Amino acid sequence: MHHPLFAEHGISVWILRLDRIHPEVSGNKWLKLQGWLNTLESPCRGILTMGGPWSNHLHAAAAWCRLQQLPFTAVVRGHEGQQTQTLEDILQGGGRVVWAQRQAFANTLHWKQMAQQEGLLFVPMGGDGPAGVEGVKAYFDQYHTHPFDAIWCAAGTGTTLQGIMRSRLPATSVFAFNPGIHDEQMELQVIQTARETGRNLQWVRLPGDHFGRSTSEQFNTMNAWFDNTGIPTDHVYTGKMIAAFLNYVRQENHLPRRILLVHTGGLQGNRSLMPGRLKFVG
């Protein structure tokens, strides 16, 4: 991948476009969903899963069910009446939305029991869990001959990072980018996986953290990145990771020479932004 900054610092950078794996079931969401589907002994009869009103995971799982002509139920954190383009896509595709406020949403056992009663596969929020990790691992195993020195990936539930570290990918250094998620348990799980797999883990955050909020500076960086590379990014995960990575390249004296950046998809979420913020949407 060509970028003026990379040439200036003498490094080779690749970006793995998971956003292009499937036209509708985007990014790492497809890998994790595959892992959960592989746990079934008989064909899937539908899915019940959880997320927020702009959830990339919900959007991807709903698209898969629509394509397979299977029932889909989205348990959405929030209050009835909220409208987003993500939820419109789910409803227009024949999916069902069940609203749940914070305390009810957190009652995972209740939603598991509902899925069981309705004969649906329960998939945790974000595709989290051992099955999701295995789905990511199976995909990244194919890159075992690629001699990367370091890999960068954003963390949501931490499932993708755990799958990468458990895979045969040879990169010893893993840069885990936290986009502003305050989840100590997630970070501890990722750290434990790094210890078990012998990976050199380094957490990265944007200066000031912004508490997960996107900023005008970030949008400018995303637009400049698009101008230089032609690669669109989402404003929650990969867009912020790219900004952190460019800062790292500018400031670090001893850089890994062969670096892989993981684009985890989620471009549909850019529709939540005001028009004109980005030169691209998805």
Per-residue pLDDT tens over the stretch 109-132: 999 999 999 999 999 999 999 999
Q: Are 153 and 217 members of one domain? A: yes
Residues contacting residue 157 through CB under 8 Å, at least 6 positions apart: 125, 126, 127, 128, 132, 186
Domain assignment present for residue 278? The answer is no
48: β partners = 73, 122
For the residues of 130-182, what is the DSSP string, one character each?
HHHHHHHHHHHGGGTT---SEEEEE-SSSHHHHHHHHSS----EEEEE--S--
Domain assignment present for residue 48? The answer is yes
Q: Are 152 and 258 members of one domain? A: yes
Q: Are 87 and 218 members of one domain? A: no
137 within 8 A of 31, measured Cβ to Cβ: no
Of 69, 100, 127, the one marking the end of a domain is 127
CA gap 151, 260 in Å, rounded: 5
Q: Are 148 and 230 members of one domain? A: yes
Domain assignment present for residue 281? The answer is no
Q: Are 10 and 38 members of one domain? A: no
Q: Are 211 and 86 members of one domain? A: no
The predicted structure's pLDDT at residue 45: 97
pLDDT above 70: residue 173: yes
Q: What is the arithmetic mean of pLDDT over 206-225?
A: 81
Q: Are 60 and 195 members of one domain? A: no
Domain assignment present for residue 280? The answer is no
Expressed as residue numbers, the domain containing 49 is: 28-127
Mean pLDDT of all residues in the chain?
94
List the Cα angle 272/205/250 in 5-degree steps. Answer: 105
What total number of domains does the chain contain? 2
**pLDDT tens for each residue of 1-60:** 889 999 999 999 999 999 999 988 989 999 999 999 999 999 999 999 999 999 999 999
Q: Are 54 and 151 members of one domain? A: no
Sheet with 121-123, side-by-side order of all strands = 96-100, 72-77, 47-51, 121-123
Q: Residue 210 — very low, low, confident or very high, per pLDDT cuts 50/70/90?
A: low
CATH number at residue 75: 3.40.50.1100
Domain assignment present for residue 196? The answer is yes
Residue with tokens 């949008």: 219
pLDDT above 60: residue 279: yes
**pLDDT tens for each residue of 87-106:** 999 999 999 999 999 999 99
The predicted structure's pLDDT at residue 280: 87
The predicted structure's pLDDT at residue 89: 97
Q: Residue 140 — very low, low, confident or very high, per pLDDT cuts 50/70/90?
A: very high
Q: Residue 212 — very low, low, confident or very high, per pLDDT cuts 50/70/90?
A: low
Q: Are 160 and 83 members of one domain? A: no
Q: Residue 253 — very low, low, confident or very high, per pLDDT cuts 50/70/90?
A: confident
Q: Are 163 and 258 members of one domain? A: yes
Q: How far apart are the first and last CA of the chain?
A: 20
Q: Are 35 and 151 members of one domain? A: no
Domain assignment present for residue 40? The answer is yes
Domain assignment present for residue 282? The answer is no
Listed range (165-179, 200-214, 223-237) with the worst mean pLDDT: 200-214
135 within 8 A of 35, measured Cβ to Cβ: yes
Q: Are 112 and 183 members of one domain? A: no
CA atoms within 13 A on the CB side of 173: 15
Over 34-96, what HEC string results? Answer: HHHHCCCCCCCCCEEEEECCCCHHHHHHHHHHHHHCCCEEEEEECCCCCCCHHHHHHHHCCCE
Using DSSP's 3-state secondary structure scheme, residue 207 falls into: coil
CA gap 269, 18 in Å, rounded: 15
pLDDT above 60: residue 211: no
CA gap 181, 191 in Å, rounded: 15
235 within 8 A of 278, measured Cβ to Cβ: yes
Domain assignment present for residue 279? The answer is no
